[in-house]
Amino acid sequence: MNSILRILDANLNRAREGLRIIEEWCRFGLDNPDLAQKCKFMRQELASWHVVDLKLSRNTPGDVGTTLSHPLEEQRSDIQGLLQANISRVQEALRVLEEYGKLYDQAMGKSFKQMRYQVYTLESELLGYQQHQRLQKAQLYLVTSPQENLCTIVEQALKGGLSLVQYRSKQGDDLDRLAEVSKLRQLCYQHNALFIINDRLDLAQAVQADGVHLGQKDLPIAVARKILGNQVIIGRSTTNPTEMTKAIAEGADYLGVGPVYNTPTKQGKAATGLEYVRYAVANSPIPWYAIGGIDQGNIQEVIAAGATRVAVVRAIMEAENPTLATQNLLSQINNSTV
């Protein structure tokens, strides 16, 4: 029985420590009291089970596990990796507590089973919150167009400070598209940029994209969330106030507002002009991106109309120097919002 007590003691420590690491980021990194409170409540629940007889079973000098390690445990590349590692740590510890707890106290097994589900929910909320915080800060949005050197162009734009990319391709076969989105997903991850896929929920799911962008004739937002989960970012194209109101009511995370100017990527759609941009300024409570024919030559008009976020296609995809084009566009947006 002493071995069981030692297992329970070790995993209670592991779960409490992991939750504390997550809680500290929720409190100081995100300034999110709700998520911090959830972590704290779970830590207190764990502490209530960490009774004296479990602690007395501890034999740290004789624990062979204290000398075991793995190279991945000794490095953390970013906050996302740190959080994910500790969420997994807590989940694994709770599973151990659930199973071995049944041998110690049936109520313990039931309690930790429920807590494990709470941590799954916390993971979804935490990662979703992180994604949405990054979305709030992203001011320039690149929507790709088919190019032979697509990945090179996107990589150069990312080096220029781009933090939000949408993959859009209506041609070619799925094997080619899958290869492209896989490479782009990795590039965006390396540059800490969000990666969105236009229309294709299956491709988004396959590469674990940060979200999808849906047109007016695509799947309802609720269906997309059911398939991809609540943590993903979902954008919706809108061309008028009615579409905007509906998209917001359906739970879109951001909106495309346009096309502001005539553009070959939206053939057959009349330009909405700057009036719709002004409407979005006054009426959209969620992030939105002015889109459609915006480039170096007219971006100041869009900014003057009140836009603080802009989406472009040709201004970067067809630029001679995508890095410089990205930096110039960001500079104009940033200078207008200071």
- pLDDT per residue as tens digits for the range 249-270: 999 999 999 999 988 766 667 8
255 and 218 both lie in a single domain: yes
Q: Pick the catalytic residue from 89, 168, 236, 309.
A: 168
Predicted local distance difference test score (pLDDT) of residue 71:
60
Q: Pick the catalytic residue from 163, 169, 237, 284.
A: 237
One-character DSSP codes across 234-275? EEEEESSHHHHHHHHHHT-SEEEE--SS--GGGTT----HHH
270 and 171 both lie in a single domain: yes
215 and 239 both lie in a single domain: yes
42 and 145 both lie in a single domain: no
120 and 265 both lie in a single domain: no
pLDDT band at 299 (very low <50, low <70, confident <90, very high): very high
pLDDT band at 124 (very low <50, low <70, confident <90, very high): confident
142 and 238 both lie in a single domain: yes
Domain count, the chain: 2
287 and 240 both lie in a single domain: yes
128, 143 contact by CB (below 8 A):
no
Q: Which uninterrupted H or E stretch holds 233?
A: strand 233-238
The average confidence (pLDDT) of the chain is: 93
Q: Is 43 annotated as catalytic? A: no
Predicted local distance difference test score (pLDDT) of residue 76:
64
Please give the model's pTM, rounded to 2 decimal places: 0.76
78 and 93 both lie in a single domain: yes
* 118, 133, 148 - which closes a domain: 133
Q: Is 27 annotated as catalytic? A: no
Predicted local distance difference test score (pLDDT) of residue 233:
96
110 and 177 both lie in a single domain: no
Closest to 256 in 3D by CA, of 248, 71, 301: 248
> pLDDT tens-digit profile of 192-244?
999 999 999 999 999 999 999 999 999 999 999 999 988 899 999 999 999 99
33 and 147 both lie in a single domain: no
Distance from the first to the final alpha carbon of the chain: 65
Mean pLDDT (whole number) for 132-154: 95
CA dist 232 and 211 (Å) reads 5
Q: Of all residues in the chain, what percent carry a pLDDT higher than 90?
A: 81
Q: Is 110 annotated as catalytic? A: no
123 and 209 both lie in a single domain: no
CATH number of the CATH domain containing 96: 1.20.1260
Predicted local distance difference test score (pLDDT) of residue 19:
98
Q: Pick the catalytic residue from 16, 43, 177, 266.
A: 266
Total H helices, total E strands in the chain? 14, 8
* pLDDT exceeds cutoff 60 at 72: no
Mean pLDDT (whole number) for 175-202: 96
Predicted local distance difference test score (pLDDT) of residue 65:
72
